[in-house]
Each structure stands twice: as C-alpha cells, then as structure tokens.
Chains A and B, each alone.
Chain A
C-alpha cells in the first residue's frame, strides 16, 4: 500500500481522555459548580464514591427532620392517633441528606424547607397570582357616560378608587344589612390603576396607581409598556389572600365584580337595575383579564388557577428582567459578554417562579398532592448554582460564536449546532460531577434543567419561542435520550417527540402560538418537567427580540406592583426567607382564632 493510499485508522488517533481531567482540574475548580458541590457535599465533588454511605447518622443529619420527629410524637400524644412516625417505612438518611444552597445567595436551607406546604413564600406567590384580576374601566366609564349621563372626571375616579379600597376589603357602602369582614383579615386587598397615559397618572391619587415609570422598569422598557397600554385605564384588583385560600382562583373575578360594582353604585350614586346590570356585566365579563383560563374537564379547575395560565402570562408575571434594557440579546452578547451574562442570569432567576409554578405547584400539588416529589425538580432551577454555572459558560460560547456575526436568524437548522454544544456540555457536567448527579437524583430533574437551558438559550439568540421549544424538545427527546439512553420517568420525553411534530402546529389539540399554550395543552398535560422550559423559551424570546413584555403589557405591569406580598423581582430571596421562617404571608386567621 502506497503512502498515498493509506487511510486513517481510528486507533492512530485515540488518546487517554480520562487523564486529561488532571490537566483540566484547575479549570474545573474555578467553576461555580465545583465550589457549590464541594460546599454541599463536603468531599471531592468529582469522585463517584461516597465513603460515608450508610454511615451518616440517618435522619439526625438534618435539624428539620428531627423537628418533624418530635412534632410527630407530640401530635400522637395529644390526639391519640399516630401521625408522622419515623418507625414506619425505610430509615431515611442512609445517604447524604445534602443542604440546599439557594442560588445567587449564601443561604443554606434544608430540602424539606422547599416543600410548598413548608414554605410560606411559595404559597404567597401562588396566592398573589390567584387573587389578581384586571378590569378595564373604559367600558364602565362609557356606560356611565352614555347610559347614566354621569360625568367622569379625575375627582370622580379618585372617589371611586377610594371607595373600592373599602369595598374590596369587604366593607358595605350601599346597603345597611350586610355583614362586613374584619379588615384585619383582608389587609392585603386593594385596587390600583394602570395606564400608559402620563396625564391620567398625574391626575390620579398616587396611592392608587402603579406608575410604570416608578416601579423599577428600565426606561426603554417603560416606554414600550406605556406606548402599548396607551390611554386605556385598567384597574388591577387584588382580592384578599384569605378568599383564594378558602375558595379558589375563580372567586377572584366574582369578588372583584361584586365589590367594584358596589363601589360604582356608591361613588356615582347609581340607581336602576338595568344600568347596574350593565356595570356589573362590564366589570365581570366584558373586559376582564383573568390570569388563567378554566382547565379542561379531567383536570377541571376554575379561572386563575395555575393549570390555565398561558405560558406567555407566566413569563409576564415574573419581573426579574425589568431592569434590563429593551435591546435584542444577540446584539448584547455579541458586543459585551458581561452584559449578556446579566441577561442570562436574570432569565435563570426568573426560572425560579416558572419552575415553582409549573413543576412544583401545578404538577406536584394540584395534580398530585402529598409529599414533594417534584420539589427537587423545581429546586434545580433555583438551588445549587447549577443553572448559573452552565449559563455563564453558555454565554461565553455564544459570545465567541456570534461576536463577528451581526444576526442570528430564527431557523432551527442554523441554531441547532449551538444547542448541541451547550447540551453536550451540560451532560458532560453531570458525567464529570457525580455529586451533581446525586443532587439531581432523578431524570425529571435533569430533563427539566437541560430542556430549560436549551429552550432559553436558543430562544434568546433568535427571539423565537418556537425555535426555543424545538430546541428543548430536541435536547431532551433526541440528544439526552440517545447519549445516555435514559431521560425522565415513565417515557417522560413523549412530550418531546410530539412537541417537535407539533411545534409549528396551530390546530387546537396540538398547540397553537407557543405563548398561548400552557400546562393545559392536551399533548403537554400528562407529562411534567417541560412547562418551565417552554415558559423560559417565551421569556427568553422576548429578551431576544428586545421587547418589554411577552404577551400582555398589563399583566407585566400588574405584577411589578411593589405592594404585592411576594416579590416577583427577587423570588429566590423571598423563598430563602420563608425557608428560614422569616417571610410573613397574608391571609392569616389569628384575629378570629384563640391565641396560640
């Protein structure tokens, strides 16, 4: 065989990859993930042996579990019926019961503190969403002018707003024989105005306005929001937390319609059944923005419950991106790595709300209940600095790839290679860090995280949530599945196989516009772990396009309200506070029960 004919042989080019880890150990040690995993597990995080397994002291490893143990005994003694009891079931704590570091903070909490029933902030986040409804006042004002001949002036609007604060809290204004609510129980109920018109804002009592210029939006975002909301006047109603705790999200718009109608009657001295029914119709049905739609029969819930909230609304509810300039991400990351990284980090922060609302609250609570099996899946989004580490690295590769390119077209075939690179890197991180693998102990954790990263990164570069969704489905159902021949639980990736085929579908049973899909979309409703990725894609696409909101500017502004109990700008801090039992929620009944 002549030298010219000699063909390449793979054996000539093999090399000991395993030895390279020693060479790159300093690089790995610089990674956030290395430091966090070392802090979490206390040993070399890249070793796949836990020498202390089965010798860790059982549940006594954790203060919280000891507390549960004591309480279980106390309850059994007091009521005579056994309760929480560590004598049944397997002995917990044979492996490491690792602490959870809330990403981006130094707060270390116990895993059990992140169960939604143990965490008051998570409950308040859900309640704050469920108790919000938005009424357009323009129709009502028109009815008042045309049908009742009333004059609408800044004075009348202010009087109405003062009245509605009283009625929304459960106070009577037009009738004598009504039972009123103790205002201490409804201290979190109020109404505020949203408008894009500065003149109207100036004329309304500032206590009753969510002023877009003053609630923390970057000026470029505020300008877009004001332009798109325009002169229309919306009223955001916050029903009291106790109402949704007793009832459900469907109570909110009824509460709002009832009490706002009473306030109209009082403020404008309305009489006559037909005019009042028109006002009530306007407030209850005509131009009302519910946060969530009713869900389909087998998963039936009323309005304003998380299963019916569209992905686009979820993405508008979070407020983590408010301070970012409304500039397309691909321009930012191409020019300035650090600024691009800031965008990425804020998406990661927003992921906290998205994962909690869908993976934990909707699937782990509404669809299941009981112990927190999806607590860890959601925690993947906000604990252990995992997302931060990977996104920091991804932003670097994006910077390098597009620094000399001015545009990123929203085409799947063009964006795919960067998804490949990022997801293979994420998979390698799990392979390199057995401690991380243990931290994300289930396939659902990993597919949820990998899907979210792939979806967000692709959508952020292209500005297209559809590309983001394709990227997510491809990353889970194709890339991860064939790399490891395992994904999540029980064929969890079925959604990804369908998702790819349905990604461009607008037929009702297949999907629709991504922003208007939701956990209730038929093909998406039976497997968990994907919703936060799909929402992440919607949110990231908005940043990719350089816009100020995803779906609805009014929803975006409504949750920027600083008077909300849960801080939608800093969700991680609120959750960490609650885990440390320092978060004060609303809706408590202390005023009407014995002191305890």
Chain B
C-alpha cells in the first residue's frame, strides 16, 4: 500500500442539462459566478423595506461581541469564522420573498440551494411560493441587498412579503404584477417602475421606494428558472430525467438494502 492514493480533483457540477433553464439554475447556485446587478437601492431604503430597525439606528444585540466573551474551547470555533452579525451579537431577523409561478427569475427551491451556496449563517424554510431567510440582522441586510439589486429580483414577479404571503399561483394583475392582498407595491405609470408604498410587514412607508422597472416578457422568458411547456419542455429534459431516475433508484434500493447500490 505504498502507492499514494490518486487525488481526484472534484469539480462541482451544480445541475444537469444543456439548455437555458438548466444553465440559469447552474449559474444561480454557483457561488463563483457573479450575479448581474440590475439596479441600485440605497442602504436606508433596504433598511426601511425590511422594517426591522429605523435607518441610522444601532443594531440591537442579544449577546456581547464574540471577542468580549470567554467561550469554552470548541474545535469548530477554530474552523468556522463567524459572520459579521454573529461576531457583533446581532438579533436574528428575516427577509422573505414570494416568487410568482409565471416566469420567475428565481423559485423557492432554487433560492434555498442558492442561499446555502452563497451565504453563511442561514436558516431557511421553503414553501411553494415563498421562502424565508433568517440571519443575523446586519447579515440579512447585506443578503437582501444582493437579493434585490441583482438578477434574482424582478419587481413584478418577485415580492418582499413578511406576512400575507399568498399570490405566487394567482394570475397577474393588469400591470403584470403578482397579486398582493396587502398592496405593498404598485406600478408607477409615470416613473415606469414598481414602487413599494409599504414595507415587508405592510406598514406604510413615509416615502415610496422605487425598486426598478419590471423586466419585459422577453427578458423573463430568457431568465425563467422553470421548465415550461411552451419554452423549455420538461419532458424533453432527458439529462435531468436520467439523474433523477438514478437518484430515485438509489433511494429505493439503498433504503431497502444499502449493499444493492454498491458499484452502481
């Protein structure tokens, strides 16, 4: 056994498939690839949209900064560098997005996979239409900036919804916006942008916050992450289907008798 083991270089593949939906899924999940920035939102506006603290106010702490605490030895602490929010002792706060079913630029399970690959210190719960992301307060603000300013946000089909989250499956309104029973956002016809008039928790904002123009139908079709019968039919995705067939067979056989999947 003197021969050294051959070191295999591992290259994460992220997602199977050759067409644009698979490619887009791969891109969002791959932390090495930059997301295209589509709009600029000022810091204070992000703080106001989240509605957890007043702009300019200090972060509330739930424990002293980690540097000031004497903690018992734990090898994991040497391995994991705390996030800025954890380092400072911030509260856990959240941001929640609902993604319409109609040509969304991102969808719940993809969000989860993206969050886990691109962020640290996250807790997330995936629903059919919405997804909550919980982090330390300053971390969640930083994450929200990325999630609103880049290509994973479409003002019309993605929405910040802290409560009364329904609407992903509904038809769109006459302006092409996803339904919101709290009317947090409206389409400003003069500005030609979507404007938030309420924060995530549906409290009325002092000043409306514009979040950019809705993407056109053509742009959305290009950026859609959903296999769709009239654009990228799911049934013809043989590469992906082969992978999920393999995963299913592994689950069934491995669940019954792990030896059965040896060498498969």
Closest beta carbon of chain A to B206's beta carbon, Å: 22
CB pair A484–B171 under 8 Å, yes or no, is no
Interface bracket on B: 35 or more
For the complex, give the distance between the alpha carbons of A434 and B179 in Å: 13
CB pair A17–B231 under 8 Å, yes or no, is yes
Number of A-B contacts (CB under 8 A): 148
B18: chain A residues within 8 A (beta carbon): 10
CB pair A443–B128 under 8 Å, yes or no, is yes
CB pair B174–A437 under 8 Å, yes or no, is no
Q: Mark B149-180, 1 if CB is under 8 A from A, else 0.
A: 00000000000000010100111111010010
Known A-B contacts A50-B171, A90-B182, A491-B126; the reply to A501 vs B102 at CB < 8 A is: no
CB pair A427–B234 under 8 Å, yes or no, is yes
Known A-B contacts A486-B109, A501-B252; the reply to A420 vs B229 at CB < 8 A is: no
Q: Mark A418-455, 1 if CB is under 8 A from B, else 0.
A: 00110010011001101101101111101000000000
Task: Please tell me if A487 contacts chain B, counting CB pairs below 8 Å.
Answer: yes
For the complex, give the distance between the alpha carbons of A486 and B130 in Å: 9
Task: Please tell me if B254 contacts chain A, counting CB pairs below 8 Å.
Answer: yes
- Using a Cβ–Cβ cut-off of 8 Å, how many residues does chain A contribute to the interface with B? 59
A481: chain B residues within 8 A (beta carbon): 109
CB pair B170–A441 under 8 Å, yes or no, is yes
Closest beta carbon of chain B to A521's beta carbon, Å: 15
A470: chain B residues within 8 A (beta carbon): 248, 252
Closest beta carbon of chain B to A390's beta carbon, Å: 15
CB pair A485–B127 under 8 Å, yes or no, is no
Task: Please tell me if B211 contacts chain A, counting CB pairs below 8 Å.
Answer: no
Known A-B contacts A17-B229, A53-B179, A424-B235; the reply to A438 vs B169 at CB < 8 A is: yes
A474: chain B residues within 8 A (beta carbon): 248
Among B129, B174, B181, point to the contact of A90 (Cβ < 8 A). Answer: B181
For the complex, give the distance between the alpha carbons of A442 and B256 in Å: 33
B179: chain A residues within 8 A (beta carbon): 50, 53, 94-95
Task: Please tell me if B62 contacts chain A, counting CB pairs below 8 Å.
Answer: no
A488: chain B residues within 8 A (beta carbon): 127-128
Known A-B contacts A10-B18, A49-B171, A438-B171; the reply to A487 vs B255 at CB < 8 A is: no
Q: B42-50, B134-142, B220-228: which lies at the A interface? A: B220-228
Task: Please tell me if B230 contacts chain A, counting CB pairs below 8 Å.
Answer: yes
B228: chain A residues within 8 A (beta carbon): 431
CB pair B226–A485 under 8 Å, yes or no, is yes
CB pair A491–B125 under 8 Å, yes or no, is yes
CB-CB contacts below 8 Å: A240-267 with B:
none
Give the A-binding residues of B (Cβ under 8 A): 18-19, 25, 99, 101-102, 107-110, 125-129, 164, 166, 169-174, 176, 179, 181-183, 225-231, 233-235, 240-241, 244-245, 247-249, 251-252, 254-256
Given A90-B182, A431-B229, 18 new contacts (CB under 8 A)? A20-B230, A48-B102, A50-B171, A53-B171, A54-B183, A95-B179, A428-B233, A428-B234, A435-B171, A442-B128, A478-B248, A479-B244, A483-B234, A484-B107, A487-B128, A501-B254, A501-B255, A505-B255
Residue pairs across A and B with Cβ atoms less than 8 A apart, 12 shown, are: A10-B19, A47-B171, A48-B171, A53-B173, A53-B179, A91-B181, A438-B171, A443-B128, A486-B109, A492-B128, A500-B248, A505-B255
Closest 3 CB pairs of A and B: A443-B128, A501-B255, A500-B251
